[in-house]
Amino acid sequence: MAKKYIIRTGFVVELAIVRIEQGKEVKSIRRYEEGEDITLEDADAALHLHKLEFALQKDREAALAAEKAAADAANPVLANQANTVKLLADAIALAMQAAAAPAPATA
């Protein structure tokens, strides 16, 4: 599926273009420089991914969500940081209560 991209600052993308003119195959190179818009199929974009950023906000958001999901799947402990912090805070609170409680009287 073709998507729109913008060439990142400091990068150049060169694409080989093949067209047929008068029955002959003619090859040329099209050069895109930083800031230019380009529409590429997924396979072509994969070759230049580090030089591109998505032009459309919805594509950027989808890529960010996919990246976050992949990171969460790779490290499930970090994926559940809020729960981990809550468990630690509860444990500290219990320890502080136990330490503050008066010692039982001995006879």
What is the residue extent of each domain of the chain? Answer: 1-55, 57-99
- For the whole prediction, is pTM greater than 0.75? no
pLDDT digits (tens, 9 = 90+) for 28-77: 999 999 999 999 998 888 888 889 988 889 888 888 888 888 877 777 66
Alpha-carbon distances of 59 from 2, 53, 69, 77, 102, rounded to whole Å: 12, 9, 15, 28, 60
Query: 55: which DSSP letter?
Result: S
**The sheet that has 37-40: what strands, in order across it?**
37-40, 3-7, 52-54
Per the CB < 8 A criterion, the answer to whether 14 and 30 are in contact is yes
| pLDDT tier at 107, thresholds 50, 70, 90 | low
